[in-house]
Amino acid sequence: MTVTQSSQSSRKDWASDQEVRWCPGCGDYSILAAVQMLMPDLGINRENVVFVSGIGCAARFPYYMNTYGVHSIHGRAPAFATGLALTRKDLKVWVITGDGDALSIGGNHLIHALRRNVNILIIMFNNQIYGLTKGQYSPTSEVGKVTKSTPFGSLVKPFNPISLAIASEATFVARTHDMDRKHMQEIFKRAHNHHGAAFVEVYQNCNVFNDGAFDQILSKEARPKNLINLIHGQPIKFGVDNEKAVVLDKQTGQAKIVNVSDVPENDILIHDEKTPNPSLAFALSRLAHGPYSPTPIGVFRDIQEPEYSDQLAAQVQEAKAVKGVGVLSELYRSLGVWEVH
């Protein structure tokens, strides 16, 4: 990889020479293009960026970026990325994963990377299916989903990835979709600039094994009626003429959709992504139970908390100041060592 100053780079500089191998029409192409086109605007150099992936269709992503990359093992990308972020603070670490990779075998690694607030950016492609292994149901597939592994329909309630990330105390949580490059780039840029654990869910169409999964909210006709664009500090309204709004139910505390004409203006919820308490963000994440009804997109949460590698470095320095530099041989011979005869 030849070093190229970010101020002089273009999309071509960030694209590798590898042939992109996804099915024709796959939403992954749109996400890749959005990232490659965004990178020159981030003010960083290619040698300071690393993409880490696990297993799945999305995991090919590092091959197509002309940066450092790690194609790790199934579900373990957040663990690999955590190690990189702790030891190489000069790198911006991106994790590219899918709903199966991140939420099934990788679920434990995902939630702990988020709760520790490690300085990594996790982009999760959600197509609600296992694509690489040819169409089995995934942790985000809807109840009743008929697939090769659930011929009579899935019985399992799906994960809500945004709810999961917020419950794990991720400090940046957002959702976007592969049909809007501008929106993707805005979200990715904000996530990149965040110091701490950032989680972005991308609704991504798998046109071979789950085509049209998001049509009810993402088709050209549906978007004006069913996408709720979250904007910090603004009343949450949507619809063709902003005729719909979101309020909090005073009895249950749950977010619900109402007609603007039916409620006082003061009752309409003002979006606050900066509030430290995650309750509001969580309530918004529960507004839609799958992409079949009006669904929020944008940034749910963006707060600042102590970042894990910063805390770890400070702890090491404090230990050195108190005890001096440790000697490994002395540790081996310290108390609490057993002799086995």
Confidence band, pLDDT 50/70/90 cuts, at residue 3: very low
Question: In degrees, to the nearest 5, what angle opens at C-alpha 284 toward C-alphas 281 and 287?
Answer: 155
Helix and strand numbers (H, E) in the chain are 12, 11
pLDDT one-digit tens code per residue, 5-26: 445 799 999 999 999 999 999 9
Confidence tier at 76 by pLDDT (50, 70, 90) = very high
Mean pLDDT for the chain overall:
93
Distance CA 205, CA 291 (A): 12
Q: With a cut of 80, say whether residue 101 has pLDDT above it.
A: yes
* Separation of alpha carbons 46 and 261, rounded Å: 51
Average confidence (pLDDT) over 120-126: 98
CA distance 129 to 146: 11
The strand pairing partners of 302, in sequence order, are 172
With cut-offs at 50, 70 and 90, classify the pLDDT of residue 333: confident
Q: Is the pLDDT of residue 2 over 70?
A: no
| Run of H or E including 311 | helix 308-323
Residues paired with 173 in a beta bridge? 199, 301
Cβ distance 137 to 144 under 8 Å?
Answer: no
Q: State which H helix or E strand residue 327 sits in.
A: none
Task: For residue 339, give the 3-state DSSP assignment.
Answer: coil
Tell me how far apart the alpha carbons of residues 131 and 27 are, in angstroms, rounded to a whole number.
Answer: 12
Q: What is the DSSP string of 233-293?
A: TSB-EESTTS-EEEEE-TTT--EEEEEGGGS-GGGSPBP-TT-SSTHHHHHHHTS-SSTTS
Rounded to a whole number, what is the largest CA-CA distance in the chain? 82
- When pLDDT is averaged across residues 201-230 and rounded to a whole number, the result is 96
Provide, rounded to the nearest whole percent, the portion of the chain with pLDDT above 90: 87
Residue 101: in which H helix or E strand, if any? none
CB atoms within 10 A of CB 20: 15
3-state secondary structure of 98: strand
Q: Report which DSSP code applies to 315.
A: H
**Helices 308-323, 77-87: inter-axial angle, 10-degree rounding:** 50
What pLDDT, in 10s, does the model give residues 223-252?
999 999 999 999 999 999 999 999 999 899
Residue 231, SS3? coil
pLDDT of 335 higher than 80? no
Model pTM score: 0.93
Query: Comparing C-alpha atoms, which of 178, 173, 192 is closest to residue 67?
Result: 192
Q: Which residues pair with 229 in a beta bridge?
A: 297
Q: Please state, for a pLDDT cut of 70, what percent of the chain lies above it.
A: 95
Q: Which of 99-103, 135-139, 216-220, 333-337 has the lowest mean pLDDT?
A: 333-337
Q: Read out DSSP for 211-230?
A: TTTTHHHHSTTTHHHHEEEE
pLDDT average, residue stretch 276-305: 96
Region 43-63: mean pLDDT is 96
Q: What is the mean pLDDT of residues 241-264?
A: 95
Q: What is the mean pLDDT of residues 301-318?
A: 92
CA distance 119 to 191: 10
Enter the DSSP assignment of 64. Answer: G
Q: What pLDDT was estimated at residue 337?
A: 62
**What's the pLDDT score for residue 318?**
84
CB-count burial class (<10 Å; 0-12, 13-18, 19+) for 52: buried
Q: How far apart, in whole angstroms, are the C-alpha atoms of residue 299 and residue 146? A: 32
How open is the CA angle 211-213-214, to the nearest 5 degrees? 125
Q: Is the pLDDT of residue 265 over 50?
A: yes
* pLDDT higher than 80, residue 323: no
Which two tokens mark 332? 């081996």
Phi and psi of 177, rounded to 5°?
-150, 160
Domains delineated in the chain:
6-213 (3.40.50.970)
Q: Looking at residues 165-181, what average pLDDT do you find?
A: 97
Q: State mean pLDDT over 165-191.
A: 98
